[in-house]
Amino acid sequence: MAPRVIRPADKLKIVCTIVNKQWHELTVRALIFTPEQEIATSVQHFIPNVPDTLALKIPSNIAQDTYRLRVEGRTLSGELKFFNESAITFEQKAV
């Protein structure tokens, strides 16, 4: 599960479960970015069938832009096993 909308100063949680038992341990990285820069990132080690959470803190000074979320899993040796990338909607916080 992952958010579809981000706002300045948001605290986000991304829940991930590795279901392929052949992948003994993976490093999962979640990244929110624009074409120009990385906004927030989190890295966590996961083992199969054990759900865990990646936490991301969105900076309070972000502005309207095109944001994307990428979640990727790599073996401990660095081999890419999966990734997913999707657009995220930016909404300014109400005052």
Q: What is the pLDDT of residues 66-80, one digit of tens each?
A: 999 999 999 999 999
Between 94 and 26, name the one with better pLDDT: 26
Look up the pTM and report it: 0.87
Q: What is the pLDDT of residues 9-24, one digit of tens each?
A: 999 999 999 999 888 8
- Whether the CB-CB separation of 61 and 71 falls below 8 Å is answered with no
Burial level of 5, CB count in 10 A (0-12/13-18/19+)? exposed
Nearest to 90 by CA among 2, 4, 6: 6
Cα–Cα distance, 53 to 88 (Å, whole number): 19
Distance of CA 47 to the CA centre of its chain: 17
> What's the pLDDT score for residue 3?
73
